[in-house]
Amino acid sequence: MPILTAGTTAPEFSLHVTPDQKLSLNELRGKPVVLVFYPADWSPVCGDELSVFNEILPELLKYKAALVAISVDGAWCHDAFAKHKHLHFPLLSDFEPKGVTARAYGAYREADGVCERALFVIDGNGVIAWSYCSPVAVSPGADGILQALEALPK
């Protein structure tokens, strides 16, 4: 299944940020959301990709956008990875039932049991404004995200 495209209502989710706290898409309603699906904590490409997004956080804040990343790793793994990489945005755990949110967005690699490397910009009304699926071994960078945020109605 291909990833969801622009004009599609973004599927709701509520996923663990920590072992005892969840974050839902609905909580972010009213502002743009940059949703990043990535295969796994601790992989070299994922670490580089998330570090790039960490670096552009000030740019995202100019658009009042929230940045959220999702993989099938557990909350404890995310916690250690975020601390190690000094990440300043939430990593959500699509761990159990495994990949249910990634599947809803068409961003689950069934054969590998991990998320695709997929990006979504969701507008303040919960509608996907832009999406992109990168080859799993290639970091997509941030240009597409910034262009999509710039194109959102003011």
Count CB neighbours of 35 within 10 A: 25
- 3-state DSSP call for residue 40? coil
- 3-state DSSP call for residue 93? strand
- Cα distance between residue 82 and residue 91, in whole Å: 8
Q: Which residue has the tokens 């295969």?
A: 39
Q: Which of 46, 77, 115, 133 is catalytic?
A: 46
Q: Indicate if 77 belongs to the active site.
A: no
Could you tell me which residues are beta bridge partners of residue 36?
Answer: 69, 119
Q: Which residues are catalytic?
A: 46
